[in-house]
Amino acid sequence: MMTSAIRGLIGAAILLSVATSAQAQTFSDAFAGFGSNDKEPISIEAKELQVQDKSSTATFEGDVVVTQGDARLQTQRLKVFYDGKADGAVQQRISKLEAFGKVRISAKDQTATGDDASFDMNKQIMVMTGKEVVLSQGPNVVVGNKLTVNLKTGKADLQAPSSGRVKVLIQPGSVQNQ
């Protein structure tokens, strides 16, 4: 019974839905934005922007907020790697994002927090690391220190610190099939 409850919470946190798999909103649906979803515009706000044309990068610093659709990323520093020249960089294809300093990603009632995160748009992989990486959906919480998500499939792997364990908190009645 405990195994199915843990599986249920991880399903809720990773699949971000307590619906059946045919109706489930996957982690990739909620957090795949930020460059891979060409149907929604990307909005980036920060206190400062530095563009490096030679390395095809743009670095945003100071209370950075990125939104695309329902997804929102907040961090202290964001480095954007893009294909093409700096002129019109906002319209260029984003190949990678690296977020540093108190990273918070949210979509609807799901939130992931950690110290750093990277999104590889070519491989469709997101990696979030930190002393504590916390996934939450409503009152349910999963904690580890490294989260790797395949944004295409929604498959996720949450690892514990070498000297610790993955922690799961499930509130009674919060994980149900619809």
Amino acid, res. 18: V
Determine the pLDDT at residue 37: 60
- Cα separation, 51 vs 38, in Å, equals 22
Residue of 78, 83, 87 whose CA lies nearest to 121: 83
DSSP per-residue letters across 91-134: GSEEEEEEEEEEEEEEETTEEEEEEEEEEETTTTEEEEEEEEEE
Q: What is the pLDDT of residues 35-73, one digit of tens each?
A: 456 677 888 999 999 999 888 899 999 999 999 888 899
Question: In this predicted structure, what is the pLDDT of residue 84?
Answer: 63
Residue among 107, 108, 105 nearest 116 (CA)? 105
What percent of the chain has a predicted confidence (pLDDT) above 70? 71
Interatomic CA distance for residues 178 and 167, integer angstroms: 25
* CA dist., res. 23 & res. 147, Å (int): 24
On whether the 2-169 domain is CATH 2.40.50.140, my answer is no
The reported pLDDT for the residue numbered 20 is 25
Give the residue ranges of the chain where pLDDT is below 50. Answer: 1-30, 32-35, 86, 88-90, 177-178
- What residues does each domain of the chain span? 2-169
